[in-house]
Chains A and B, each alone.
Chain A
């Protein structure tokens, strides 16, 4: 049995991320692309997208576990925020 067979892991990590191409690694490359041109990255990931994804991947699981119990009440808040956003 070689090393790669003995070290087993899952294709999708517990943070719903790609094993081997995790979000922090992608974010680091996008930041490097700001300093050195590493190639066509389609305009990059976008700061807001990166922040949302960072929260989701790094804190998402405990957040969802906690907030799922209050989803019904939070739903009203989401609808309110959505209306505010659409008004703008």
Chain B
């Protein structure tokens, strides 16, 4: 008895096609033949299930460590196999039976039985996330089915056929298969050859020519050959190679934290038919931005669970991407469902700036924020940002010897420090503040209607999620509602907190930079400062920015910026250019969730690798990368159109602002900038 062995899937399929002309029945092994796992060791898929059961046990009031749950499962499965071996040749086990016993042991009879469907669903979800159909093999299977062959799937595994059907259905070829047979149902396996006898008798295959394809030389080669079945065995070098790489990264990540994020990315990688040709921007989204965003949203979810936060508000417009990422990744990471509600909140600095003055007036800190961007120069810029009527305020300025075009920023020509002193005196003027409050009262009221409508005041604690950088949106938002008794405690999570101006942290209002926070010394994380706009453009929602909140008879109306002008059109053009990049991020979101759930790590574990990504891509980018991911248009209404003094323009030039030819020809340009960056961070 012999069987043919093949070292590549193409060679096997070629030989299979030659043989199938005279064959009536074709059976396939399932795992590593029709489906491959992203992970090298199938037992690793059991670990997130153990964590899920451990989380449920904690909810039930008698917490079990997940390691103890896993050990119990392994012990019970082992015992089931030993008991099976007393009656059958094969040492098989059946998942619903041993998992039920495991759950009953932990939760008691009633609760354990009730939990079994939920645990099974999560186990199958995780299996599905790690299984990928082999394109060539499945294509061949479909052709065989179309040619009238009877197709069977035979597997020696603890999952019964009903569960395997879920996996095959998810892979998309259940319709072509006559039956899925699992050794878990009958304890008659391919390993002993009994499984083939069973199928032959049950489906009346005696006398029919039968071809079996699998990957195990004994179960799929020797045994079918002994039973008179033509057997082809796949020994795929490419697949062995891929799994060897995954294995190294996963194993090294246990001892060396640096490889944890790398192992995560290896598990996220598309394989087989998924790994097609993609635009380079898509790849930047998948391999560079997605792990950063994944770490960010996973940290927020963990913090929400730890702090008992009831609702997460993703602030427009970057929050749109964070929310989509959250929705795709969280079912894998937190299957117990103990997660806060999520909502996308339409806000912007421009829309909130005015509303923030409705109760407290224009504060000195907020006025200073207006002069942070170098393009803002005078009181007109303040009025533009805070949505104030400059004509009505001009008499108040005259009273303090100021004009609407008096230079108030030290970055511009004509700046006189005494003018700034007079401006601060103006801010103390009660009549001036009353006029401001009168002008923005409607906007403030409309904002409160909007926030009440989205349930902002219904929770004791809320999370506000934004890209960064100063926390200005959260500052304005909190100042607009802090006078209310039902104002919730606001936990701000920024992708990166650059803290260019001190944030008014209070018990009810905090911000935290997750990937980078200037309050913590983080050299690698600070490289985000090289290209902040990249993250804004990459995460931005495909809708125009919000200009303000209008008070209406019904309550409020959101006023969006038009897209007809040159600025709006340029923004649309940028959105179109970055759409493959965003697609890469979204396609990676579910993969991030599954891979991170499997590894059981979170952002402190991934941070060393994320640091490496940030430094590599931002501080030492390739010329092509800068050309590709540098934004074409970046628009910010907060920034005025005034030109600051040359000395300030020159000082603010960054690596990513340089022409591409300089990046190609100057070998030390990146190193010089990095050393300068290093010096600046140390001096801070």
**Chain A interfacial positions (CB closer than 8 Å to B):** 2-5, 7-12, 16, 18-21, 25-26, 29-30, 36-46, 49, 52-53, 56-57, 60-61, 64-65, 68-69, 71
* Among A16, A20, A49, A64, contact of B256 (Cβ-Cβ < 8 Å): A49
CA distance A25 to B245 in the complex (A): 17
Q: Among A10, A20, A60, A65, which residue has its beta carbon within 8 angstroms of that of B245?
A: A60
Contact in complex: A39, B279 (CB < 8 Å) = no
Once the chains bind, are B237 and A64 in contact (CB under 8 Å)?
Answer: yes
Q: Are A20 and B615 CB-contacts (below 8 A) given A52-B248, A68-B235? A: no
Query: Could you tell me which B residues sit within 8 Å of A by CB distance?
Result: 7, 235-238, 240-242, 244-246, 248-249, 252, 255-260, 262, 265-266, 269-271, 275-284, 286-288, 522-525, 527, 577, 580, 584, 607-609, 611-613, 615-617, 619-620, 625, 627-628, 674-675, 678
| A61 and B238 contacting across the interface, CB-CB below 8 Å | yes
Whether the pair B625, A36 counts as a contact (CB closer than 8 A) is no
The 6 A-B pairs with the shortest beta carbon distances in the complex, nearest first, are A39-B524, A42-B608, A42-B257, A42-B258, A8-B277, A39-B523
Given A39-B523, A39-B524, the answer on whether A11 and B278 have CB atoms closer than 8 Å is: yes
Q: Cβ of A60 and Cβ of B524 under 8 Å apart?
A: no
Which of chain A's residues have a CB closer than 8 A to the CB of B287?
A: 11, 18-21
From A8, A37, A43, A71, contact of B278 by CB (8 A): A8
**Chain B hits for A60, CB < 8 A:** 241, 244-245
Give the distance to chain A from B54, nearest Cβ to Cβ, in Å.
Answer: 26
Nearest-neighbor residue (CB-CB) of A46 within chain B: B256
CA A37 – CA B262 in complex, angstroms?
20
Assess the A4–B281 pair: CB atoms within 8 A: yes
- B275, A40: Cβ atoms under 8 Å? no
Query: What's the minimum C-beta distance from A75 to chain B, rounded to whole angstroms?
Result: 12
Is there an interface contact between A39 and B257, defined as CB atoms closer than 8 Å?
no
Which residue of chain A has the shortest Cβ distance to B616 in the bound complex?
A: A29
- Given the interface pairs A4-B580, A19-B283, A52-B248, the reply to whether A64 lies near B241 with Cβ below 8 Å is yes
Q: Which residues of B contact A19 (CB under 8 A)?
A: 283, 287
Contact call B280/A9, Cβ cutoff below 8 A:
yes
Q: Which residues of B contact A65 (CB under 8 A)?
A: 7, 237-238, 241
- Is the beta-carbon distance between B286 and A64 smaller than 8 angstroms? no
B674→A18 contact, CB < 8 A? no
Are the CB atoms of A2 and B577 closer together than 8 Å?
A: yes
Asked whether A42 lies within 8 Å of B607 as measured between CB atoms, the reply is yes
Across the interface, do B276 and A10 meet the contact criterion of CB distance under 8 Å? Answer: yes
A18 near B7 with CB under 8 A, answer no
How far in angstroms is the closest Cβ of chain A from B592?
13
Contacts of B256 in A (CB 8 A): 42-46, 49
Q: How far is the CA of A9 from the CA of B624 in the complex (A)?
A: 14
Are A44 and B270 in contact (CB-based, < 8 A)? no
Decide if A45 touches B280 in the complex (CB within 8 Å).
no
Q: Are B237 and A68 in contact (CB under 8 A)?
A: yes
Which B residues are CB-close (under 8 A) to A5? Answer: 279, 281, 580
- Say yes or no: B245 contacts A56, CB within 8 Å: yes
